[in-house]
Amino acid sequence: MKALSTSRSSRGNEAHSSRKLEPPHVGCYDSDGGSTIMDIPSDWQRVTLRSVCEPTRVWNPLREPRDEFWYVDVSAVSRESLAICSPQRVKATQAPSRARKIIQTGDVIFATVRPTLRRIAFVEEQFNDQIASTAFCVVRANRQKAIPYFLYYALQTNFLNEEVAKFQSGASYPAVNDKDVLNQSISLPPKPEQEKIAAVLWKIQRAMEVEEKLVAAARELKQSAMRQVFTHGVRGEPQKQTEIGPIPKSWNLPRLEDCCDVVSSSLSYTDFSQMAEENGGDSVLAVGIKVSDMNLPGNEIRILKANLQKRVPPALAKRKFVPPNTIVFPKRGAAIATNKKRLTMSWTVLDPNLIGVRAGEGVNSNYLFQWFQQFDLRTITEAGPTPQLNKKNLTPLLLPIPKQPDEQKEIAGILETMDRKISVHERKRGALGDLFQTLLHQLMTAQIRVHRLDIDTSEVKAA
């Protein structure tokens, strides 16, 4: 990749400035933006990964017999945390045929099968001298030139991943070769600056992990709370045995069809998208939602936004739209297994892949929503090439309903408080994730310099 030198005349004015200047820069390609040309500091180098790495070894079971070992397959690496999360303990005689690469502490493993999925992990000490699938390129830093954690973060940049993906081939399982990874160019600062860049990103990653653990703990606590309140209530009354197990003695156990409505919009999503927006003063906001809208940030519990929304006449909304406070969830395909349920906040048009349940008289909609949160949709899904969930599968469900509306409201309030706690940590995790991606780009392209900052780098040096 050809470097661009900076002419002396272009720096003439800067030379006479009393302002303290950063070191002169040389040109390189933006490590996150593809073909854009930008500057990097003159004390940085543009190098290939191969030039700052050491050779790695392939395990030969005949020469190096082992009884058992940790085996890291591609599926063992989390796409969310970019870490080894679920390795297998296997006996050497039962080792998969792809188990052939020796990994060491400080290595970075980069999945060469479906590289766009970005399964990248740093090898921690507990996996030292273990075995990884040949579906990984093992990147081992030459520690005289590069620190392992810096290469771990360099391998996460958008530009490098996009460049690697250009070499993939194969329809069912697109893959690249190790050389396609190792021949990639990166911008390499001096080692002290590598350490500081890695330390900043490492600290953000650790903060993200803390929030993830808090989310997991809060979710587990809520699951326990749901099991308690839906079988014991909150009034300490005796229980009775029912078809679904013990519930408080005073509670009712109606079929869903007797206390709720299974609903869908009579206006199609396509027709709604083609409608003109109503500008009248009495118009109401309506949204059209697909399964993907359930995953928009902020929609973790209630549908607060959608890709399709517009104002419509109120009479039309009441006649053809699903009303607010309707519980919606997938009814077709693999999305059912995600068990995601959301509560509508506006008049809503449902995509054909969604279905809704609306609380009837005497049933608190928030209580009903919380009950559905713990219900596994897979238990009533019709098997087949395309899993299906229809009205006939929902109407026979037995719902434990407190007789007193106040108890329904109290139970819903307890569980909603837990939801808010979970949401707080999820938002923090999301904000840290955004910060990480921004700093990853800016630090790796020298848009932000940390070389003069006093940063504790002990964690990344120890790897």
Clarify whether residues 59 and 166 are in a common domain: yes
445 domain-assigned: yes
Q: Please give the average per-residue pLDDT across 167-172, as a whole number.
A: 89
| Domain of 175, in residue numbers | 52-204+431-461
Q: Please give the average per-residue pLDDT across 110-126, as a whole number.
A: 94
**Closest listed residue to residue 233, CA positions, set 250, 218, 210:** 250
DSSP-derived 3-state class of residue 416? helix
We report the CATH number of the domain holding residue 96 as: 3.90.220.20
Is-contact 74 87, C-beta < 8 A?
no
Clarify whether residues 27 and 127 are in a common domain: no
**Structure-token pair, residue 305:** 């936004």
Q: State pTM to two decimals.
A: 0.79
Clarify whether residues 140 and 258 are in a common domain: no
129 domain-assigned: yes
User: SS3 for 292-309, per residue?
Assistant: HHHHCCCCCCEECCCCEE
Clarify whether residues 448 and 351 are in a common domain: no
pLDDT in tens, 357-368: 999 999 999 999
Clarify whether residues 188 and 139 are in a common domain: yes
DSSP 425-458: HHHHHHHHHHHHHHHHHHHHTTSS--TTS----H
pLDDT in tens, 84-96: 999 999 888 777 7
> How many Å apart are CA 409 and CA 174, to the nearest integer?
52
Is-contact 43 22, C-beta < 8 A?
no
DSSP-derived 3-state class of residue 391? helix
Q: What is the pLDDT of residue 281?
A: 82
pLDDT in tens, 354-413: 999 999 999 999 999 999 999 999 999 998 899 999 999 999 999 999 999 999 999 999
CA pseudo-torsion sign 408, 412, 413, 415: positive
379 domain-assigned: yes
- How many structural domains comprise the chain? 3
pLDDT in tens, 404-458: 999 999 999 999 999 999 999 999 999 999 999 999 999 999 999 999 999 999 9
> How many Å apart are CA 61 and CA 50, to the nearest integer?
27
Is-contact 302 281, C-beta < 8 A?
no
Residue 406, amino acid: D
Clarify whether residues 132 and 193 are in a common domain: yes
- Averaged pLDDT of the chain: 89
Please state which of the ranges 25-34, 90-99, 282-291 shows the lowest mean pLDDT.
Answer: 25-34
Q: What is the pLDDT of residue 248?
A: 97
Clarify whether residues 350 and 440 are in a common domain: no
Residue with more model confidence, 24 or 425: 425
H or E segment at 69?
strand 68-72
Clarify whether residues 62 and 194 are in a common domain: yes
**Closest listed residue to residue 286, CA positions, set 265, 260, 261, 300:** 265
165 domain-assigned: yes
Clarify whether residues 172 and 260 are in a common domain: no
Last residue of a domain, one of 399, 421, 446: 399
Clarify whether residues 94 and 175 are in a common domain: yes
Q: What is the pLDDT of residue 92?
A: 80
Q: Please give the average per-residue pLDDT across 276-289, as a whole number.
A: 90
Question: Does the structure show a pLDDT above 80 at 178?
Answer: yes
**Closest listed residue to residue 411, CA positions, set 271, 234, 208:** 234
Residue 6, amino acid: T
Question: Does the structure show a pLDDT above 90 at 20?
Answer: no
1 falls in which pLDDT band (50, 70, 90)? very low
Question: Does the structure show a pLDDT above 70 at 122?
Answer: yes
Clarify whether residues 277 and 180 are in a common domain: no
Using the CB atoms, write b or e for 12-32: b if 16+ within 10 Å: eeeeeeeeeeeeebbebbbbb
16 falls in which pLDDT band (50, 70, 90)? very low
- Kind of pairing between the strands at 347-350 and 342-344: unpaired
Q: Please give the average per-residue pLDDT across 256-283, as a whole number.
A: 92
27 falls in which pLDDT band (50, 70, 90)? very low
**Closest listed residue to residue 459, CA positions, set 133, 72, 187, 122:** 122
For the chain, give the percent of residues with pLDDT over 70: 91
Is-contact 355 389, C-beta < 8 A?
yes
Q: What is the pLDDT of residue 38?
A: 58
CA pseudo-torsion sign 165, 166, 168, 170: positive
Q: From the CA atom positions of the chain, what is the Rg in Å? A: 28
Angle made by CA atoms 296, 291, 408, in degrees to the nearest 5: 80
Q: What is the pLDDT of residue 31?
A: 42
pLDDT in tens, 184-219: 999 999 999 999 999 999 999 999 999 999 999 999
Q: Residue 327's beta-bridge partner residues? A: 343, 357
130 domain-assigned: yes
Clarify whether residues 192 and 326 are in a common domain: no
360 domain-assigned: yes
> How many Å apart are CA 345 and CA 290, to the nearest integer?
15
213 domain-assigned: no
> How many Å apart are CA 346 and CA 304, to the nearest integer?
8
408 domain-assigned: no
**Structure-token pair, residue 453:** 């900052």
For the chain, give the percent of residues with pLDDT over 90: 81
